[in-house]
């Protein structure tokens, strides 16, 4: 996006990427539906960035969710608003949009240099790249770093740029997994029988905050939308030790209604699992309840309802960062000046997930990447104008 803005203003732009093809994480993001942004009112939208909102607000207002949708339409790809307010391109996936975008960039004479891994600066301050053949050194007027965070390194970056910047005195906060699963020490039964099974229409409760959705059991723990949405809260609580997360298996029934239902649907000779199933709690839910009670399920309907409304699960750690949707941490805001330029390295800008912010899924991640890149493109053009006096 920064390349498009700068090239659109007549500058020579070269994009170097370590992979064979550009935007591979963008393509991966589109695999299950490219959620570009969200349609909610801008003030609600901005609140999704939590404490980092002030750092991102002016960039997002200047290149807003509406601007992003108009930009897509300008590339020939209309967008639609899904039931949850999330915005997707009509084709749903990333590849058609990316193709059109690359064609536009080609028309603007943006050059791509694949398989160029940036490894730092040379003595003469030229950018240094490792390539499959020989090392390459390039002198530039302005550098825009868009190297991403360390999640999914197979398609994106591995965050090794961190030491290249810290060696130059730039403060970079440690990376942490965001929008990711959590680890739970399941019994063999749970991981063997229920790995991959969603717990439908549940609520995940952490520190009295409830998020509804379908958490999914994995071999190592839990993942899925409501777990991702709670991942910041869980991660921060984990710094004080293991965390007890509660799962409400019946969030639409209060405890009295569930007790009445359990009482009503009990049949003599039923196993506990069958009894729970009659009351609408599926086998995966019953198994979670067994895990939480060392297989000693209460026989009293009220006690059983209490358990089903708040099944305690001990989370021991976050899943590995390389499987997270995004990362927290990155270049500290104290290092960033106007136009997302590094205070200590004039002429070097930083965009996207390299910066120290995080947000839930819902289109907030890509929107902030697009908006910061658009802001940097504009700032780079303005700085070059004042430098050259054109
Ligand atoms: C499975 C998955 C699904 C997602 N779905 C969505 C979604 O639907 N909506 C949403 O908003 N967000 C989604 N995201 C998050 C979104 O993809 C990222 O937030 C976004 O891609 C970050 O953009 P970026 O430009 O900062 O970094 P990246 O997209 O990671 O791009 C960084 C680029 O820098 C290159 N690079 C890194 N280091 C070097 C180096 N040293 N030298 C040369 N090149 C280097 C990498 O090869 C890469 O091409 C998803 C992420 C994942 C993993």
DSSP-assigned beta bridge partners for residue 222: 182, 217
Residue 64 token pair: 């807003």
The per-residue pLDDT for 386 is 80
pLDDT tens digits along 89-122: 999 999 999 999 999 999 999 999 999 999 999 9
Cα 93 from chain centroid (whole Å): 17
Q: Whose CA is nearest to atom 8 of ligand 1?
A: 35
Q: What is the pLDDT of residues 196-235, one digit of tens each?
A: 999 999 999 999 999 999 999 999 999 999 999 999 999 9
Q: What confidence tens digit (pLDDT) does each residue in 143-191 have? A: 999 999 999 998 988 999 999 999 999 999 999 999 999 999 999 989 9
- Measured CA to CA, the distance from residue 97 to residue 90 in angstroms comes to 10
Q: Write down the pLDDT at residue 242.
A: 80
User: What is the pTM for the complete model shown?
Assistant: 0.93
Q: How many CA atoms lie within 13 A of 26 on its CB side?
A: 22
Which ligand 1 atom sits closest to the C-alpha of 363?
Answer: 11
SS3 110: coil
Is 163 or 240 the better-scoring residue by pLDDT? 163
Digit-coded pLDDT (tens) for 303-342: 999 999 999 999 999 999 998 999 999 999 999 999 999 9
φ and ψ at residue 235, rounded to 5 degrees: -60, -45
Q: List ligand 1's pocket residues with C-beta within 6 A.
A: 16-19, 24-26, 28-29, 34-35, 117-118, 146-148, 151-152, 156-157, 161, 325-326, 352-353, 363, 365-366, 369
Q: What percent of the chain has pLDDT over 70?
A: 99
3-state class (DSSP) for residue 299 = coil
Of 25, 8, 6, nearest to 17 by C-alpha is 25
Which residues of the chain does CATH 3.50.50.60 include? 2-177+326-388
Name, in order, each residue with C-beta under 8 angstroms of 123's C-beta and a sequence gap of 6 or more.
none
Name residue, tokens 């093809």: 21
Task: Supply 79's token pair.
Answer: 């967008």
pLDDT at 390: 61
Instruction: Say how many C-beta atoms besides its own lie within 10 A of residue 248's C-beta.
Output: 19
Domain at 2-177+326-388: CATH architecture: 3-Layer(bba) Sandwich (3.50)
Report CA-CA distances (Å) from 168 to 171, 175, 355: 9, 18, 16
């Amino acid at each position: 996006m920064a390349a498009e803005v700068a090239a659109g203003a007549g500058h020579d732009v070269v994009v170097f990427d370590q992979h064979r093809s550009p935007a591979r994480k963008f393509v991966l993001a589109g695999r299950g539906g490219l959620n570009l942004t969200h349609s909610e009112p801008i003030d609600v939208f901005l609140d999704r960035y939590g404490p980092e909102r002030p750092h991102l607000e002016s960039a997002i207002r200047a290149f807003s969710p509406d601007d992003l949708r108009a930009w897509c339409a300008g590339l020939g790809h209309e967008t639609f608003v899904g039931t949850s307010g999330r915005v997707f391109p009509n084709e749903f996936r990333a590849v058609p949009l990316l193709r059109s975008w690359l064609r536009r960039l080609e028309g603007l004479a943006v050059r791509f240099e694949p398989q160029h891994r940036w490894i730092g600066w040379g003595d003469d301050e030229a950018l240094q790249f490792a390539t499959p053949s020989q090392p390459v050194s390039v002198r530039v007027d302005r550098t825009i770093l868009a190297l991403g965070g360390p999640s999914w390194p197979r398609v994106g970056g591995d965050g090794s740029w961190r030491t290249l910047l810290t060696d130059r005195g730039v403060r970079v906060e440690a990376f942490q997994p965001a929008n990711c699963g959590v680890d739970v020490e399941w019994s063999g039964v749970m991981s063997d029988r229920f790995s991959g099974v969603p717990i439908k229409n549940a609520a995940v409760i952490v520190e009295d905050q409830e998020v509804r959705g379908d958490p999914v059991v994995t071999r190592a723990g839990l993942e899925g939308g409501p777990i991702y949405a709670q991942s910041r809260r869980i991660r921060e609580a984990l710094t004080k030790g293991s965390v007890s997360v509660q799962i409400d298996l019946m969030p639409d029934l209060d405890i009295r209604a569930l007790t009445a239902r359990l009482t009503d649907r009990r049949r003599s000779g039923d196993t506990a699992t069958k009894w729970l199933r009659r009351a609408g709690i599926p086998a995966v839910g019953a198994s979670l309840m067994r895990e939480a009670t060392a297989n000693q399920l209460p026989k009293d309907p009220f006690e059983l309802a209490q358990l089903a409304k708040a099944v305690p699960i001990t989370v021991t750690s976050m899943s590995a960062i390389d499987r997270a949707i995004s990362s927290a941490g990155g270049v500290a805001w104290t290092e960033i000046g106007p136009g997302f330029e590094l205070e200590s390295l004039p002429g070097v800008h930083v965009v996207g997930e390299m910066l120290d912010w995080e947000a839930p899924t819902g289109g907030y991640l890509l929107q902030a990447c697009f908006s910061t890149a658009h802001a940097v493109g504009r700032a780079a053009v303005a700085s070059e104008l004042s430098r050259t006096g054109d």
